Amino acid sequence: AVNPLWSAVDDMIGEALLEDGPVLADCAARNAERGLPDIAVSPAQGRFLQMVCEIMGARRALEIGTLGGFSTLFLARGVGETGRVVTLEAKKTYASVARKNFDESGIGDRIEMKVAAALESLATLEGPFDLTFIDADKPNNVNYVEHALRLSRPGALIIVDNVVREGNILEPDEDDESAKGTRALYEHVNNHPRLEATALQTVGAKGWDGMMFLRVRD
Ligand code: DHB
Ligand code: MG
């Protein structure tokens, strides 16, 4: 459940800090119009992803789970004019909406989308990537992190979305495969020899959730 104050504050943050041109608003509007689920990152989270890319000087970003491409556009901004984003989407209907958003964005030439099950695409990819954003089917989170690690440069960052799920990760219901897949990720990265890990809880228009940050050791 979303506390109305969380949404109101997200709206205020958007108005106070995230003033922007029409590209992202058009993308969000198209995604809603085309019936995509309302589960993209918030504008504040997207801007954060962009800033992380900029701070790191990331030139190659990988995204697992395109949906309508809202987060992809922030990553494409973050990697700059000479950067590239590879984004993976399994659902053709989502990919066609994302394709339109990229074509209309003015920066679509920085984005390469692969439309297939992510594990299939990942098996064909070559690194190194500076940053990976994992935001796809949660039961595969451990598999995705291991692929991201294989494709990462030393010092790279891997960010995983939806790692709190309104607290459902504490004691996942037997039938909640998403919460179980994410809970398994915590166990997988705990004391991982090649990863330094933390996770931050968030509240906002998307409810109570969080992101995990995994730094690939040098
Ligand atoms: C879900 C997936 C997401 O990536 C997200 O940000 C929120 C919810 C979901 O599958 O429920
Ligand atoms: Mg998500």
Determine whether the shortest distance from the Cβ of 39 to ligand 1 is under 6 A: yes
Quick one: CA dihedral 166, 172, 175, 181, positive or negative? positive
pLDDT at residue 4, as a whole number: 96
Percent of the chain scoring above 90 in pLDDT = 98
**Do the interacting molecules here have an ipTM over 0.85?**
yes
Predicted confidence (pLDDT) per residue in 152-170, tens digit: 999 999 999 999 999 999 9
Q: What is the mean pLDDT of the chain?
A: 97
CA of 33 to the centre of ligand 1 (A): 19
Q: Which residue's CA is the nearest one to ligand 1's atom 9?
A: 39
* Euclidean distance between CA atoms 166 and 210, whole angstroms: 9
The residue to which tokens 């949660």 are assigned: 138
Residue closest to 152 by CA, chosen among 215, 66, 101? 215
Say yes or no to pLDDT of 73 above 90: yes
pLDDT at residue 1, as a whole number: 80
Whether omega for the bond prior to residue 128 falls within 30 degrees of 0, making it cis, is yes
Determine whether the shortest distance from the Cβ of 2 to ligand 1 is under 6 A: no
Q: Which residue's CA is the nearest one to ligand 1's atom 3?
A: 39
Determine whether the shortest distance from the Cβ of 101 to ligand 1 is under 6 A: no
pLDDT at residue 170, as a whole number: 96
Which of 36, 39, 48 for mutating ligand 1's site (highest number of atoms within 8 Å of CB)? 39
CA of 106 to the centre of ligand 2 (A): 24
Predicted confidence (pLDDT) per residue in 17-49, tens digit: 999 999 999 999 999 999 999 999 999 999 999
Determine whether the shortest distance from the Cβ of 10 to ligand 1 is under 6 A: no
**What is the arithmetic mean of pLDDT over 112-127?**
97
Domains of the chain: 4-216 (3.40.50.150)
Question: Which residues have their alpha-adjacent CB atom under 5 A from ion ligand 2?
Answer: 135, 161-162
Q: Which residue's CA is the nearest one to ligand 1's atom 8?
A: 39
Residue closest to 73 by CA, chosen among 36, 38, 44, 110? 110
Determine whether the shortest distance from the Cβ of 161 to ligand 1 is under 6 A: yes
Q: Which residue's CA is the nearest one to ligand 1's atom 5?
A: 39
CA of 162 to the centre of ligand 1 (A): 6
Predicted confidence (pLDDT) per residue in 1-22, tens digit: 889 999 999 999 999 999 999 9
Q: In the structure, what pLDDT confidence band is assigned to residue 186 with cuts at 50, 70 and 90?
A: very high
Q: Which residue's CA is the nearest one to ligand 1's atom 7?
A: 39
Mind spelling out the 3-state secondary structure of the chain? CCCHHHHHHHHHHHHHHCCCCHHHHHHHHHHHHCCCCCCCCCHHHHHHHHHHHHHHCCCEEEEECCCCCHHHHHHHHHHCCCCEEEEEECCHHHHHHHHHHHHHHCCHHHEEEEECCHHHHHHHCCCCEEEEEECCCHHHHHHHHHHHHHCEEEEEEEEEECCCHHHCCCCCCCCCHHHHHHHHHHHHHCCCCCEEEEEEEEEECCEEEEEEEEEECC
Determine whether the shortest distance from the Cβ of 202 to ligand 1 is under 6 A: no
Kindly report the length of the chain.
218
199 beta partners: 212
Percent of the chain scoring above 70 in pLDDT = 100
